[in-house]
A and B are shown apart, each in its own frame.
Chain A
């Protein structure tokens, strides 16, 4: 069965430092990959997604992610974080293009400290 593992449940970081949030998935077929962000007391919104083409995907708010098929990973990065990036980040996978049942990771809580 397909699964998504977010390797860190909590990531504390200082403002202006770089950050990487890790996501691995298991699937033997083609996948689409997503990162969503949830700010406190809000719904989720899309940060970026990989469907095909370039393995480096750029999203909103200066985030980017790299799809690595051999490592089955889709890690999220930002070179310099801001206090406003404090949020919960979710990695998700849709298998074979079937978006009706996204498989979600458990989330990574990013805490940016001054």
Chain B
């Protein structure tokens, strides 16, 4: 199993450009997440999904959109890139278990620089 894969690994965008960060998992997990990680700020949840066709906002959703058409894929869309979106983005997945406490499995991250 490849686990959680993310593409690209690194990208430079100009202000106002758009892009899609790809995330795929091959573990058949029903939950998927997008986080951003800024230096010294820990992880902030952007969006999450509990299954195909179902998405919901996290702590910092502004400026982002997601879709979940399949169990495997959970792309993150930036429509109008801004310097404040310079960050490292992590996708994660987990499988719901009775009673909660699931382990999240993370991808290697996408480093985004907006200039």
A45 CB to nearest chain B CB (Å):
7
CA distance A41 to B99 in the complex (A): 33
Given contacts A99-B31, A99-B94, contact A32 B100 (CB under 8 A): yes
B55 CB to nearest chain A CB (Å):
11
Complex contact A43–B99 (CB within 8 A): no
A94: chain B residues at CB < 8 Å are 100-101
Complex contact A42–B108 (CB within 8 A): yes
Is B42's beta carbon under 8 Å from chain A? yes
B58: chain A residues at CB < 8 Å are 101
Is A2's beta carbon under 8 Å from chain B? no
A42: chain B residues at CB < 8 Å are 108-109
Report B96-111 residues with CB < 8 Å from chain A CB: 99-109
CA distance A84 to B43 in the complex (A): 23
Is B53's beta carbon under 8 Å from chain A? no
B107 CB to nearest chain A CB (Å):
5
Taking residues whose C-beta sits less than 8 angstroms from the other chain, chain A's interface range is: 20 to 34
The interface stretch among A14-22, A61-69, A72-80, A102-110 is A102-110
In-complex Cβ contact of B108 among A9, A34, A43, A51 (8 A): A43
Complex contact A43–B31 (CB within 8 A): no
Complex contact A99–B108 (CB within 8 A): no
CA distance A81 to B42 in the complex (A): 23
Complex contact A97–B101 (CB within 8 A): yes
Is B50's beta carbon under 8 Å from chain A? yes
Is B45's beta carbon under 8 Å from chain A? yes
B33 CB to nearest chain A CB (Å):
8
Complex contact B103–A49 (CB within 8 A): yes
CA distance A45 to B56 in the complex (A): 24
Is A56's beta carbon under 8 Å from chain B? no
Is A90's beta carbon under 8 Å from chain B? yes
- The interface of chain A, by Cβ under 8 A from chain B, is 9, 32, 34, 36, 41-46, 49, 51, 90, 94, 96-102, 104-107
